[in-house]
Structure 1
Amino acid sequence: MGAFEIGEPRFDSGMMSENPPAEFRPLMPLFPQEVCWIMDRIFACEMEWHVGYTLSQTIFSCHYVHNLHYIDPEFVDPAAITIDLSHSSDAPTPRFDESHPPELVTRVLLGSVMALLKCCDLVWRELSKDNIIDTEDWQSEKCDVSMKEGYPVRHILNLLDAGIYWVETYQTSDPTWGDAREALLSRLRFRKLPQLLLQIFDTLLSKSYFSLEPLIASARAELRILRKTHTEPSPESPARTAFDPQLARSLNSFIPLHVIEISTQNATWDKMEAWLEGLSEMGLLASTEDISTWEIVGHLQTWVPDPNRLRPYVRSATISAFSDGVLRIDRDPHKYLLEEWLYERLDTSLGTFQEALSTRWRAAGQPLMSDLQEPLRQLLAAHIKGSWYNGPRRRRHYMKSLVHWHELCVTLQHVSSCIEPVQGADVVVQVSRLALSYRLSIIREIIFSGFQLELYNAEERVFAYWYAVQVIGANLEVWHAMLVGLGEGKQDTKAAQELKWQIGFFRAVQALSSAIFAVTLKQLKSPWERLQLNCARRYKWASVDEYDDSDIAPTGHPDFWGFTRACQAIIQDEAFSPAACVADAKQMTTELSNGRCGGWAGRWCSDRLQFTRRLIDVCDGLSGLPENMKEAASFDPSYLKWDLAVHPWFPKLVQPSS
């Protein structure tokens, strides 16, 4: 009751409007254009459910969902279509005729609503696999309304086929039926195509993913027709009574609800186009067996988020495809991920690593490979899946995983100390470096996710940029050592190309972070003791008790007093130039964007290059930063504006108006 008393907008007191909704009659006669409009608005409701609203607020607000037994031709009374269907007793009696035959409701609309509910059923099954979080990404509550769970997909497709056949063969002298016929067919076909896609997702057979692209191409063609044939009925049209946003108040629900605004139809088509694009990308990714590509795409979808493409269903289906689909993780759990990981990142094999351990071990009690393989496999699988979580969940997952990555690094360091050293490339040392590079990369992602989630206040941003400089610097050292460790003959391999791209890109990110850190120092106004407490709270993941069990200090954890020394040192550094850092970053990103994408980006090279070019735009937007620290002393950091639409990590410099 406290939430109601303070006017919490997410809650609904349940009070009905003073104006009751218009009476709904399931068998009211409708023109084809009105049926098309109802089907279009059903699509709009469905897309709102995909966003994360409840079924009761969206799809269940359609009266036809609750009155299917009244419009089913197997049960409807033939006399019902000839009785008075007017809204008032003194109005003329409308009857079905050739302009609005009853089959528009009992065949076309019935099949469309049944297909809608079955689509929701199959989507619900995918979303309920715990790949994503109920109530955080989507709402699982069905409000005691059937979604045709017991109906086979083939039965629903037969209903759609029957509706399509009737529309194609219906004969009428009404001249308006020419355009209306094609509009109806497009909507029925479009409803049928996503149904097939959902059927493919539900089977989770790897061979099914290869049939996604032609289906999506057909869906896009139908969507173009839908955009051209949408019409709005008059305000007095009986079709408008088919939806009641307050209907949810009469359903069984445990979630306090409020009336939501359904998107406009053009916005719905845009969302559906982006949703199809997300499904298409998922299909392409499901045919990719390079786990580095999965990781790269996961990072890109986080760095440049498109909420319309990354609906919860797409993210859940992507995780399912990775776990149970084409990668065959469950069928080859111990070798597949590790084989690919070592080959793609170090251009070596699991057998080479195992042989090095067995032949060079000099300590008592040779370690079991399973003690290394299984934890590493689980970490890799969870890491890639975590890339497809929502932003806050991804950040929390990475924080929790850091302890396990540290334990792996400690184990690998112990193994490295127990083997005979060799001249030249050492695969065991390389694997230890690779694990450390992953841990440092995860810390970097945690830092920058704070900017995307808008978690930092002004003082916290200063520390975050300094901390990013330190973590990226440590990671660059590891990457350089890995690149040298590959040897002279492997500098053109994909593993080397990927390392070179990572080094080039994050050197630019480091330079920009250094510049922003230097020019925002003036925003530190609290005492050091207070800042230390704030830092400990923000980075509490670095002080969990599990680290006390290790005799090796974790690499890359925040050092607040090192930060205070850096603040004092950079103020006195006459040679440091924020503007030069920005210029260096622009040069590095320009070289990257003009060169080969390289590495393991694969089909997503253009997306990676696009994000690189966005960094060039950031450099252009920061070109007015001070030339030296003397000028920085008079620089006003309030001119820096953080805008996620411009860049997820860095601000733009907004010059004061004259």
Structure 2
Amino acid sequence: MASNPGFEDLFDVPGGNAFTEVTDLFVAGARDMEPEEVVLMDGFTLVDAMSAFEIGEPRLDSGMILEEQRRAPFDPLTPLLPEEACWLLDRSFACEMEWHSGKTLSQSVFTILFVHHLPDINPEYLSPEENEDPARPRWLITVVMRAAMLALLKCCDLAWRELSKGRVQDVEDWQGEKCDVSLLEGVNSDLIIHLLDNASDWVQQSDLAEAQVDALCDRLYLRKTLLQLYKLDLLKSVDELWYHTTVGRELVERVRRPHDPLPPNSAVHLAIDPYIARRLPNFMPIRVTEVPPLTQIWDSLGVQLEVWAEVGHLVTSPSLLKWTAAGSLQYCLHKKPASAFHRALIQTIVFDKELVLGTHHPTWLMEQFFYETIGLPYSTIIDAFERSTPSRQVATMRDVIERRIIKVHRPDALLVPHVRSNWYNPPRRRRHAMKEVLQWHMLYDTMLKDIEMHKPPDAGIAATLRALPIAAQIWRLSQCREVILTGFQQELYAPEEKPIAYWYLARVLDFHIACIEDVLPSVPPDSPACSELNFQASHLAALQMISTTLVALTSGSITSTWERVSTNFLRRYKWVLNPEFDNLPAAHPTPDLLSFPPTLNEFLRDTLYSPSRSFELAENILRHLSEVPQEAVGHWDRDRRQYLRNLADACARLKRGTPESLIELPNFNLKTLQWIPDVHPWFPTVVSP
């Protein structure tokens, strides 16, 4: 084949064909090496070299530079126009947001070459420049750009410290590889804030045009505001938090104003090297990613500031209900998810260094749990036990229950991990809810056994004691509902699994409503818990109507054999079929698949049942609830009412495209039901076939 003169024309060799034979060079170099001696480049060990032969090392290809990737050398002291400096400052915000979105530092922040040349632009080490161009003053680099780059790295350092606490998962939620580049870990943030102020003073005292001064100062103030937010002790400085977030939002609106693009031949483009990972110790495959448009970056930064403000509302809202509502509603409303940094920060604020919200001892959670669930102060519950049993048994009961609910360092602790789980990523959050189902039922069993040993002296105390295990049941059923519904949101169910999922969901909702009706007589009517339980009874009733109706509408999608359906069911609901449940009281509703076919057949024989009217009734309930102020959730009233309106809209869409009665069900086209999470996370919508 080598003799074929046209064969080489079939191959396009990167870099062309003008190669130099280097075999003799390597042979000559090897003569001067001792046996078993190895020459390695920095950051690439013998283990890495051996692994490269076995699995393919992406860094082995990093040295090949294509012709279109060749760049002129970067000189950090190349003069910049004010517009170019503004462009680079905007790029710094873009790279920071890209890191928070999940990219590596080598793909984002470290692509700005100034962060690698900070000593080279330190004005203390530079001699004065002669014949300086007044349109391109050197201080734009040595004062303005240096201060901004220092602040960028310090923001990343403060975020990295929070992210590395283990609240979120490295690689899964964020990328923590620093590539041996300093994030100014030893530099005081107050010093950098002083440098930013100094840079702003230089700009304001300069001869630049007013528009240029405003543009540069706005970006410096925005960077200063972000750095102040990162370094803030939120538990002690909520007022400062409100101030900085307000200022930050105003600055974002100012810097997002459109401006003329820079020419392609501008020298500032050389300050960005998307292939910088080639020169850094890096354990990730080298990938070049495009930076989104600036409008999207400013939107992302605005969301970051909104989340910071929401953190302030959480700090000033010491309530399990409000925290849970804040965490769960962000998933239901398709909000742009909080960054991993903010999710880690919120989890730290919830509990850190033996204190809840930096102020309360864990026993406070115990008090909130009973008061917010069944409206009874913990002191009332203890008094009921003291009037029913000797103090020794009371102490034992308190120890067992408190250990399960609030002892945060135990693997079976409930409340702190539950609150934190609302800021896990969605799959991890769902897995945690699965584990909680068993833990809440174990607590129910403990409470039930202790209460059976008591002999209350009157009916009032008996009602108080009877309400305790129901509280645990309510929380268990809430987690069951969460697991089933998030399965739809994460598109886990096959078509034939959906009818069974809605059927089991309807059973869970039925039992949840029954628990609420059972406990309500024991709840003080003027307590916030009574109001919330009444709301939940109506809310769950609407969900139950929707789920029950969808069982009938989707039943035709079950086409597999019963053996296959049973196998899928056991795998899908293993979280509630755990053998540990066998030693506990029955966790109603038990997942009995054998009861599904007769229940479905009986339901389908009810020819008077109207799917469209059921959706209409559920819609009316939800519309009414959405018009009532949701005071129990405080700041998140608007979000909860929007959630209810979204549910009502889903009912309205289903009502328009579903049969008037089950007699028409054989003619219903199942393909018109489409599950589109962006339209609604849990329920289908009717589309034209």
Q: TM-score, normalised by structure 2?
A: 0.87
- Does 2:124 match 1:74? yes
How far, CA to CA, are the matches of 1:356 and 1:149 in structure 2?
55
Pick closer, same or farther for the CA change 1:257–1:406 going to 2, 3 Å. Answer: farther
Confirm or deny: 8 A CA contact 2:442 2:584 kept in the other structure: no
Pick closer, same or farther for the CA change 1:13–1:496 going to 2, 3 Å. Answer: farther
| CA radius of gyration, larger in | 2
1:446 shift after superposition? 0.4
Confirm or deny: 8 A CA contact 1:501 1:597 kept in the other structure: no
- Does 2:244 match 1:210? no
1:64 shift after superposition? 0.9
1:139 shift after superposition? 0.9
How far, CA to CA, are the matches of 2:170 and 2:200 in structure 1?
36
How far, CA to CA, are the matches of 1:505 and 1:484 in structure 2?
19
Q: Which residue does 1:399 correspond to in 2?
A: 434
Q: Which residue does 1:609 correspond to in 2?
A: 641
Alignment of 1:190-209 (within 5 A): 190-200=222-232, 203=233, 206-209=235-238
Confirm or deny: 8 A CA contact 1:49 1:59 kept in the other structure: yes
How far, CA to CA, are the matches of 1:455 and 1:655 in structure 2?
24
1:582 shift after superposition? 0.3
Confirm or deny: 8 A CA contact 2:577 2:591 kept in the other structure: no
Q: Which residue does 1:38 correspond to in 2?
A: 88
Confirm or deny: 8 A CA contact 1:286 1:318 kept in the other structure: no
- Does 2:280 match 1:251? yes
Pick closer, same or farther for the CA change 1:540–1:4 going to 2, 3 Å. Answer: farther
Q: Which residue does 2:485 correspond to in 1?
A: 448
Q: Which residue does 2:79 correspond to in 1?
A: 29
1:621 shift after superposition? 0.8
Q: Which residue does 2:34 correspond to in 1?
A: none
Unaligned residue ranges in structure 2 (runs of 5+): 1-48, 407-412
1:419 shift after superposition? 1.5
Q: Secondary structure at the match of 1:198?
A: helix
Q: 1:571 aligns with which of 588, 604, 620?
A: 604
How far, CA to CA, are the matches of 1:362 and 1:154 in structure 2?
59
Code of the aligned partner of 2:529:
A
1:101 shift after superposition? 0.3
Q: Which residue does 1:110 correspond to in 2?
A: 146
Q: Which residue does 1:18 correspond to in 2?
A: 67
Q: Which residue does 1:491 correspond to in 2?
A: 525
Q: Secondary structure at the match of 1:573?
A: coil
Confirm or deny: 8 A CA contact 2:513 2:537 kept in the other structure: yes
Q: Which residue does 2:339 correspond to in 1?
A: 311
Q: Which residue does 1:350 correspond to in 2?
A: 378
Q: Which residue does 2:42 correspond to in 1?
A: none
Code of the aligned partner of 2:610:
S
The number of residue pairs the alignment matches comes to: 626
Q: 1:359 aligns with which of 387, 390, 393?
A: 387
1:566 shift after superposition? 2.2
How far, CA to CA, are the matches of 2:180 and 2:52 in structure 1?
25
Q: 2:519 aligns with which of 465, 471, 482?
A: 482
How far, CA to CA, are the matches of 1:179 and 1:651 in structure 2?
52
Unaligned residue ranges in structure 1 (runs of 5+): 83-94
How far, CA to CA, are the matches of 2:574 and 2:61 in structure 1?
39
Code of the aligned partner of 2:505:
A
1:141 shift after superposition? 0.9
> Which shifted more, 434-443 or 454-463?
454-463
How far, CA to CA, are the matches of 2:279 and 2:619 in structure 1?
59
1:589 shift after superposition? 0.6
Confirm or deny: 8 A CA contact 2:437 2:477 kept in the other structure: no
Confirm or deny: 8 A CA contact 1:514 1:581 kept in the other structure: no
Q: Which residue does 1:509 correspond to in 2?
A: 543
CA deviation string 1:411-467 (max 9, x = no partner): 111122112254246222112101101001001000011111111111111111111
Code of the aligned partner of 1:214:
Y
Q: 2:594 aligns with which of 561, 567, 575?
A: 561
Q: 1:285 aligns with which of 292, 311, 314?
A: 314
Confirm or deny: 8 A CA contact 2:157 2:183 kept in the other structure: yes
Q: Secondary structure at the match of 2:124?
A: coil
Identity level (%): 35
Pick closer, same or farther for the CA change 1:39–1:349 going to 2, 3 Å. Answer: same
Q: Which residue does 2:422 correspond to in 1?
A: 387
Pick closer, same or farther for the CA change 1:76–1:456 going to 2, 3 Å. Answer: farther
Confirm or deny: 8 A CA contact 2:347 2:420 kept in the other structure: yes
1:484 shift after superposition? 2.1
Q: Secondary structure at the match of 1:253?
A: coil
> Which shifted more, 13-22 or 148-157?
13-22
> Which shifted more, 381-390 or 12-21?
12-21
How far, CA to CA, are the matches of 1:220 and 1:325 in structure 2?
32
CA deviation string 1:450-488 (max 9, x = no partner): 1111111111111111111011111011011121222xx
Confirm or deny: 8 A CA contact 2:606 2:662 kept in the other structure: yes
1:96 shift after superposition? 4.0
Alignment of 1:404-423 (within 5 A): 404-421=439-456, 422-423=458-459
Q: Secondary structure at the match of 2:67?
A: coil
CA deviation string 1:88-119 (max 9, x = no partner): xxxxxxx7410010001111111101100000
Code of the aligned partner of 1:36:
C
Q: Which residue does 1:588 correspond to in 2?
A: 621
Confirm or deny: 8 A CA contact 2:148 2:196 kept in the other structure: yes
Pick closer, same or farther for the CA change 1:35–1:363 going to 2, 3 Å. Answer: closer
Code of the aligned partner of 2:341:
Y
Code of the aligned partner of 1:321:
I
> Which shifted more, 59-68 or 360-369?
360-369
Q: Secondary structure at the match of 1:97?
A: coil
CA deviation string 1:617-646 (max 9, x = no partner): 111111121122221122111111111221
How far, CA to CA, are the matches of 2:60 and 2:622 in structure 1?
51
Pick closer, same or farther for the CA change 1:506–1:167 going to 2, 3 Å. Answer: same
Q: Secondary structure at the match of 1:113?
A: helix
Q: 2:363 aligns with which of 330, 335, 340?
A: 335
1:498 shift after superposition? 0.5
- Does 2:551 match 1:523? no
Confirm or deny: 8 A CA contact 2:365 2:415 kept in the other structure: yes
1:11 shift after superposition? 10
- Does 2:288 match 1:268? no
Q: Secondary structure at the match of 2:183?
A: coil
Q: 1:294 aligns with which of 313, 318, 323?
A: 323
Q: Which residue does 1:53 correspond to in 2?
A: 103
Code of the aligned partner of 2:107:
Q
1:19 shift after superposition? 1.5
Alignment of 1:616-635 (within 5 A): 616-623=648-655, 624-635=657-668
Q: TM-score, normalised by structure 1?
A: 0.91
How far, CA to CA, are the matches of 2:359 and 2:652 in structure 1?
50
> Which shifted more, 318-327 or 514-523?
318-327
Confirm or deny: 8 A CA contact 1:55 1:141 kept in the other structure: yes
Q: Secondary structure at the match of 1:207?
A: coil
CA deviation string 1:329-349 (max 9, x = no partner): 676534201112222222211
Confirm or deny: 8 A CA contact 1:292 1:341 kept in the other structure: no
How far, CA to CA, are the matches of 1:124 and 1:375 in structure 2?
32
How far, CA to CA, are the matches of 2:680 and 2:558 in structure 1?
23
1:222 shift after superposition? 1.2
Pick closer, same or farther for the CA change 1:119–1:364 going to 2, 3 Å. Answer: closer
Confirm or deny: 8 A CA contact 1:334 1:373 kept in the other structure: no
Q: Which residue does 1:459 correspond to in 2?
A: 496
Confirm or deny: 8 A CA contact 1:440 1:556 kept in the other structure: no
How far, CA to CA, are the matches of 2:307 and 2:572 in structure 1?
34
> Which shifted more, 29-38 or 299-308?
299-308
Confirm or deny: 8 A CA contact 1:108 1:160 kept in the other structure: yes
1:20 shift after superposition? 2.5
Code of the aligned partner of 1:525:
T
Code of the aligned partner of 1:181:
V
Code of the aligned partner of 1:53:
K
CA deviation string 1:34-66 (max 9, x = no partner): 000011011011001111111111101111111
Confirm or deny: 8 A CA contact 2:356 2:362 kept in the other structure: no
CA deviation string 1:133-158 (max 9, x = no partner): 11111111111100000100111111
Confirm or deny: 8 A CA contact 1:639 1:653 kept in the other structure: yes
